[in-house]
Amino acid sequence: MDFLTILNNSAAEILSPSTAAFALATIGLNVHFGYSGLLNFGQAAFMAVGAYAFAIFTMQVDPTATLGWPMWLSFVVAVLVAIVAAVAFALVLGIPTLRLRGDYLAIVTIAAAEIIRFTVRTSDYSAVTGGSQGLRGQDYKGDITGLNPLTGTTYGFGPWTGTAYDTWIRILAWTLVVVALILVWLLMRSPWGRVIKGIREDEDAVRSLGKNVYSYKMQALVLGGVLGGLAGIMYVLPRAVQPDNFATAMTFYIWTALLLGGAATVFGPLLGSILFWVLLAFTGGMLSGLQQIGAFGDMSGTQAGQLRFVLVGVALMLLVIFRPQGILGNKKELSFHV
- List of residues contacting other proteins (CB under 8 A): 183, 186-187, 190-195, 197-198, 200-202, 204-213, 219, 223, 332-333, 335-336, 338
Closest of 254, 270, 263 to residue 312, by C-alpha: 254
* Three-state DSSP state, 231: helix
Considering the complex, state which of residue 68 and residue 210 has its C-beta at the smaller distance from other proteins. 210
Considering the complex, state which of residue 50 and residue 198 has its C-beta at the smaller distance from other proteins. 198
Nearest approach in angstroms of CB 193 to other proteins is 7
Nearest approach in angstroms of CB 232 to other proteins is 22
Please tell me the distance from the alpha carbon of residue 317 to that of residue 312, in angstroms, as a whole number: 9
Beta bridge partners of 135: 241
What would the 3-class secondary structure string for 35-90 be? HCCCCCCCHHHHHHHHHHHHHHHHHHCCHHHHCCCCHHHHHHHHHHHHHHHHHHHH
Give whole-number Cα distances, 90 to 46, 85, 157, 307, in Å: 8, 9, 40, 35
Nearest approach in angstroms of CB 202 to other proteins is 5
Considering the complex, state which of residue 135 and residue 259 has its C-beta at the smaller distance from other proteins. 259
Considering the complex, state which of residue 28 and residue 162 has its C-beta at the smaller distance from other proteins. 28
Closest of 323, 239, 235, 318 to residue 277, by C-alpha: 235
Q: How far apart are the first and last CA of the chain?
A: 48
Nearest approach in angstroms of CB 280 to other proteins is 31
Considering the complex, state which of residue 157 and residue 336 has its C-beta at the smaller distance from other proteins. 336
Nearest approach in angstroms of CB 117 to other proteins is 30
Please tell me the distance from the alpha carbon of residue 89 to that of residue 85, in angstroms, as a whole number: 6
Considering the complex, state which of residue 121 and residue 207 has its C-beta at the smaller distance from other proteins. 207
Considering the complex, state which of residue 30 and residue 129 has its C-beta at the smaller distance from other proteins. 30
Please tell me the distance from the alpha carbon of residue 209 to that of residue 187, in angstroms, as a whole number: 20
Q: In sequence order, what DSSP letters do the residues of 180-198 get, joined into one string? A: HHHHHHHHHTSHHHHHHHH
Is residue 8 within 8 Å of 159, Cβ to Cβ? yes
Considering the complex, state which of residue 294 and residue 337 has its C-beta at the smaller distance from other proteins. 337
Please tell me the distance from the alpha carbon of residue 189 to that of residue 296, in angstroms, as a whole number: 51
What value, to the nearest 5°, has the Cα angle with vertex 174 and ends 235 and 253?
A: 45
Nearest approach in angstroms of CB 294 to other proteins is 51
Is residue 264 within 8 Å of 34, Cβ to Cβ? yes
Nearest approach in angstroms of CB 324 to other proteins is 13
Nearest approach in angstroms of CB 225 to other proteins is 14
Nearest approach in angstroms of CB 203 to other proteins is 9
